[in-house]
Amino acid sequence: MIMNTSEALTFFLPKELSESEGAIFMDIGISAGFPSPADDFRETRISLDEELIRNKEATFFARVSGQSMIGAGLEDNDLLVIDRSIPPTNNKIAVCFLDGEFTVKRLRVEGGEVWLKPENPDYPIIKITEENNFIIWGIVTNVIKKV
């Protein structure tokens, strides 16, 4: 049985924002239970770029397609925030270029060996060997979901 071990990622760059852009942020605390009085709420603007991006020159967005990382909360059609300036270390979720395709997996680094671990038991763990064309392209820092 042949299993697809990679996702189809579509990449995007962050948009340049002017100082006046940004969504309105209501600093009232949103109750998940009973509503609370909002007499004294403050209204300011918030930029998701400022909240989600540490290094704008090294950050990209990618939309994921596939199910291999559902156990880590990354689902089909989620938008990933990827920072290429963060060092790849054990247990980070990384976007990798493997043998001509992009994939997103959890890094396992031990004793000089690297594995790409899916977060779905239906997908195999991939051991990286010298024969692989392999690059760790960036580290996933955030995921944006539609509800």
For 16-25, the CB contacts below 8 A with 24+ separation are 17/47, 17/49, 20/45, 21/45, 21/47, 22/46, 22/47, 22/48, 22/50, 23/47, 23/48
The three-state secondary structure class of 11 is: strand
In this structure, are strands 113-117 and 126-127 parallel, antiparallel, or unpaired?
Answer: antiparallel
Euclidean distance between CA atoms 13 and 56, whole angstroms: 9
**56: annotated active-site residue:** no
Question: Across-strand partners of 106?
Answer: 93, 117
Catalytic one among 68, 85, 127, 146? 68
**20: annotated active-site residue:** no
Euclidean distance between CA atoms 128 and 46, whole angstroms: 41
Catalytic one among 18, 31, 105, 146? 105
Active site residues: 68, 105
